[in-house]
Amino acid sequence: MVETTHARRQMVDTQIRTTDVTAYNVLDAFLSVPRELFVPSSSKAFAYSDADIRISENRIMMQPSPLAKLLQLADISKDDLVLVIASNSGYSAAIISQLANTVVAVENDEDLVQRSQDTISDLGYDNVAVISGDLAEGVSSEGPYDVILIEGTVEDIPQHLLEQLKDGGRLVTVSGTDRRAEAVKILRTGNHFSRIAAFDTNAPILSEFRKPSEFSL
């Protein structure tokens, strides 16, 4: 316990603070959630490393620093309803549970959904619901949302996901390809959506959000 607490503090001090994350609520959330419980047993030794960690065949947990920067960009408050898309092991949903009022997390891997539910329940984070569903569809039945986080790099953001935001809501994700990507924040004002490019970064590619192939003869 002492070792993991120290490793968590080191992660926050040497990986997250050093990338210009200054929001106290974000830093406190990363200090409080035991990341080692959200990684496979074979990867626990690397739980606090500054690296992506493979969770399953199709899912990779983001590095702590870009995830923290995305959450700072989202500016989540204690009254917010947040949707997490591609929540993989549930770590980001657990972090956001410390920042928001309610978290809805959606993942299409049934095994990861069950593992996430079990871990989050064991930790007593009772403001999180992890469900199985189509990532590109979101969860319109539980919205509209103050914040939507798509956890990974996307090429295309479906319009119907943006329409699940409240007026004044924001969607944050990483936009681009495996060669070049940037964090973006999309703000909803009425029926208008404005896009802000925030910082260059990288995150695991989400195949569910690739641009449709263009047909040509």
Residue 168 in domain: yes
pLDDT band of 213, cuts 50, 70, 90: low
- Per-residue pLDDT at 216: 44
Residue 53 in domain: yes
Determine contact, residues 164/143, Cβ cutoff 8 Å: yes
Residue 91 in domain: yes
Q: Strand pairing of 128-132 and 145-154?
A: unpaired
CATH code at 145? 3.40.50.150
Residue 216 in domain: no
Q: What are the phi and psi torsion angles at 128 (to 5°)?
A: -120, 130
Query: What does pTM read for this prediction?
Result: 0.93
Residue 169 in domain: yes
- The number of folded domains in the chain is 1
- Domain span at 194: 2-209
Residue 82 in domain: yes
Residue 215 in domain: no
Q: Which residue has the higher pLDDT, 184 or 180?
A: 184
The percentage of residues in the chain with a pLDDT greater than 70, rounded to a whole number, is 95
What's the burial of 175, exposed, middle or buried (CB within 10 Å: 0-12/13-18/19+)?
A: buried
Residue 155 in domain: yes
Taking only the tens place, the pLDDT of each residue in 46-72 is 999 888 899 988 889 999 999 999 999
DSSP type of residue 205: B
Distance CA 104, CA 107 (A): 10
